[in-house]
Amino acid sequence: MSATNSTQWRRALIKLSGEALMGGLSHGLDPETLHRIAADVAGAATTGVEIAVVVGGGNFFRGIQGADKGIERARGDSIGMLATVMNGLALEHAIEQVGQAARCLSAIPMPSICQPFSRQAALHHLNKGRVVILSGGTGNPFFTTDTGAALRAAELSADVILKATQVDGVYTADPKKDPNARRYERLTHDEAIEKRLAVMDTAAFALARENRIPIIVFSLAGADSIQAALAGRGRSTLVTPA
C-alpha cells in the first residue's frame, strides 16, 4: 500500500446489498449511486486499509423470491448468484473509473468474464493494493450473501466486516416502523443472535463469532459513509466477539 493506514484496521470486508445500487430506481443499477459508492470504496482504499467487497444481487433477483414465480429455491439462488456477478462487474468498472485498481472474482467459475475466486488470488490482489470484489455468493444455494461475506472475511483474515444498510446501526426494532426503537451502540455476537436482530442472518453472526471478527453496521446514505465507518466517525453499531 502506498498510503499510510489511518485507521485501526489492516483489512476490511464491506458487505453491500444489491438494493443499495438501485438508488431511486425500482430495480437495476442507478449510475449516480453506483459512482458515489465506487468513489467511497476507492477512498477507503486510499486510507491504507486493504478492501474486499461482497455485493448482493437483490436489485436484479433474489433467490428466495423465486418461489413466488414458481422457481425452486436452489435454481432461484443460482439466478441470484449470477445477479451478484453482474453487480460485481459493474462495481469493478465504476471503481476503476475513479482511478482505483479493482478485480472482480466469482465463486462460480466463468473465466471468460472474470477471474474465478480462490483465496490465493484474492490475497494476491489485496496485497497489491487492489479492491477485491467477491461475487457469486458462496457458489452454493441456500446461503445468503451475508453468510458469504462472513465466510470470505474469515478466509481472507479480515479484521472487520462493514455491513452497509439503510439505517445507522442495529435497533431494538425497525426504526422506520417503530418511533420508539432504540439504537445499540455496541453488542456482542451472542446478544445479536439471542435477540434475533435481523440486520444479518444467524449463520453470518455465528461465523463472525467463531472467527472473532467484529462487525460495524452503518448507513450507506451520504458521501464517504464507508470511509467514516472505517475511521470510527458517525453513528453506527459495533458488534464484537465479547
Contacts of 228 (CB under 8 A, 6+ apart): 218, 234
Return the CATH number at 32. 3.40.1160.10
Q: What is the pLDDT of residues 85-143, one digit of tens each?
A: 999 999 999 999 999 999 999 999 999 999 999 999 999 999 999 999 999 999 999 99
Q: Is residue 3 part of a domain?
A: no
| pTM beyond 0.85 | yes
Assigned C-alpha cell, 232: 470510527
- The pLDDT value recorded for residue 2 is 44
From residue 187, how far is each of 73, 180, 216, 219 by CA, in Å?
33, 19, 10, 17
Q: Is residue 88 part of a domain?
A: yes
- The pLDDT value recorded for residue 14 is 98
Assigned C-alpha cell, 164: 452497509
Assigned C-alpha cell, 22: 438501485
Q: Is residue 232 part of a domain?
A: yes
pLDDT band at residue 51, thresholds of 50, 70 and 90?
A: very high
Q: Is residue 2 part of a domain?
A: no
Q: Is residue 122 part of a domain?
A: yes
From residue 152, how far is each of 53, 117, 212 by CA, in Å?
9, 10, 13
Compute the mean pLDDT over every residue in the chain, rounded to the nearest whole number: 93
pLDDT band at residue 62, thresholds of 50, 70 and 90?
A: confident
pLDDT band at residue 197, thresholds of 50, 70 and 90?
A: confident
Number of domains in the chain: 1
- The pLDDT value recorded for residue 1 is 39
Q: What is the CA radius of gyration of the chain?
A: 17
Percentage of the residues of the chain whose pLDDT score is greater than 90: 83
pLDDT band at residue 223, thresholds of 50, 70 and 90?
A: confident
The whole domain housing 105 covers 11-240
Q: Is residue 4 part of a domain?
A: no
Q: Is residue 154 part of a domain?
A: yes
Q: Is residue 6 part of a domain?
A: no
Q: What is the pLDDT of residues 149-163, one digit of tens each?
A: 999 999 999 999 999
